[in-house]
Amino acid sequence: MTDMASIKTVLKQQRIETPSWGYGNSGTRFHTFAAPGAARSVWEKLEDAGEVHRLTGIAPSVALHIPWDKPSDGDWGGVSSFAAQHNVQIGAINPNVFQGELYKLGSIAHPDKAVRLEAVTHILECIDVMKLTGSKDLSLWFADGTNYAGQDDFRSRKHRVRDSLERVYTALPDGKRMLLEYKLFEPGFYFTDLSDWGVALSHCQALGDKAQVLMDLGHHAQTVNIEAIVAHLLDEQRLGGFHFNARRYADDDLIVGTTNPLELFCIFVELVGAANDPALSSHTTQVAYMIDQSHNIEPKLEAMVQSVVNCQEAYAKALLVDFERLRDAQSSGDVLAAHRTLMDAFKTDVRGLLEEVRVEMGAPADPIAAHRESGYLERVTATRGTFEGGGGFPT
């Protein structure tokens, strides 16, 4: 796509969901550094999400984590109304079945049927939250796994996982989706029940069309070609969404696009290419773009804004790819021409273009500068102070 007017139109339609847990104190397993003004409740997280949307213009929804974000009065209608007051809406609902003492040996793969029932019951409660908030996506990540050879039987665990997921899937209303996330390792270091995209895909295919694979960029082995996985899942029409972040070594949960911007660009190239394919275009409109990162040393809102901006830049560059020239070079075996065509787009400076897009959308040209000048952080810090507790993750 080379028509700038058309590119601007597409960029204005981009949507990135932010995570509630990214606004509270959260960090590594070693320590969480308390941030001045960090959100302490679901209400303050929604306020901060509204600020990020104001600054970027493309972050209108917020993923919630249950029970971290459960209101004390259980009034989910009130949560939705409060979100609307801040020009955002409730996005994916994320159940927590990995922090309770009973989940020491797993949740839906646990050897004890009673523990599995507890986990499924919690997930079913989250489906009720979806109904009350208008959420479309149930985002599932499981810490289930083992640490030692012989600790448990792999095939038995597979059957337990499938049985639990089937119960959840059956309860999922029409128009709602189950997004099944995978992770190579951690906290199980010998084996993880949902360890890679193939395992997640096989479960989704067995469950039905409402089950889709969720990809977290930090959940793969080193050097894995993530954009190739994106291409495969797109072609199978099973790519449900992303948890965008960046990593250097493992699940580092850093600001999106900071460690490998070329990889992020190549992922968006696959998405744009599929959107241009009549056989896949309708599926690509259903892909959810969500951020999942854990800011520990950088300012919460600025880090979130930077992730959104980096996604914008990668998308804008992908829209600049001359796909006709690229396909011609690929089909003729002209390796260097194909590579150069891709790199021409990647090396293009799109910052000016994105400034124009933001201004035309009513957002500031420089979101982080605008945030600093607004005094927002100083105002909320005066009210919130520096909260020593966690924003979901243990401190």
What is the Cα–Cα distance from 258 to 245, expressed in whole angstroms?
9
pLDDT digits (tens, 9 = 90+) for 240-277: 999 999 999 999 999 999 999 999 999 999 999 999 99
Q: Is the confidence at residue 40, as pLDDT, over 80?
A: yes
Identify the domain containing residue 142 by its residue range.
Answer: 11-316+367-384
pLDDT digits (tens, 9 = 90+) for 168-203: 999 999 999 999 999 999 999 999 999 999 999 999
Q: What is the pLDDT of residue 25?
A: 87
Rounded CA Rg of the chain = 21
Which percentage of the chain shows pLDDT scores above 90?
91
Query: Residue 214 to residues 32, 175, 243, 350, 393: CA-CA distances in angstroms?
Result: 27, 17, 7, 28, 21
What average pLDDT does the structure give for the chain?
95
- How, if at all, do strands 288-291 and 239-244 pair? parallel
Any domain includes 5: no
Q: What is the pLDDT of residue 395?
A: 33
pLDDT digits (tens, 9 = 90+) for 334-355: 999 999 999 999 999 999 999 9
Tokens for 235, please give them. 């072609």
Q: What is the pLDDT of residue 34?
A: 85
Any domain includes 329: no
Any domain includes 6: no
CATH number of the structural domain spanning residue 265:
3.20.20.150
Q: What is the pLDDT of residue 394?
A: 41
Which percentage of the chain shows pLDDT scores above 70?
97
Q: Is the confidence at residue 10, as pLDDT, over 50?
A: yes
Helices (H) and strands (E) in the chain, counts: 15, 10
Q: Is the confidence at residue 58, as pLDDT, over 80?
A: yes
Any domain includes 376: yes
Any domain includes 335: no
What is the Cα–Cα distance from 114 to 45, expressed in whole angstroms?
34
CB 281 within 8 A of CB 274: yes
pLDDT digits (tens, 9 = 90+) for 350-373: 999 999 999 999 999 999 999 999
pLDDT digits (tens, 9 = 90+) for 275-295: 999 999 999 999 999 999 887
Q: Is the confidence at residue 31, as pLDDT, over 90?
A: no
What is the Cα–Cα distance from 265 to 283, expressed in whole angstroms?
20
Cross-strand bridge partners of residue 145: 192
Q: What is the pLDDT of residue 295?
A: 78
Any domain includes 344: no
Report residue 61's pLDDT band, with 50, 70 and 90 as the boundaries: very high
Q: What is the pLDDT of residue 386?
A: 81
Domain total in the chain: 1
E-state strands within the chain: 18-19, 61-66, 89-95, 137-140, 145-146, 177-181, 191-192, 211-216, 239-244, 288-291
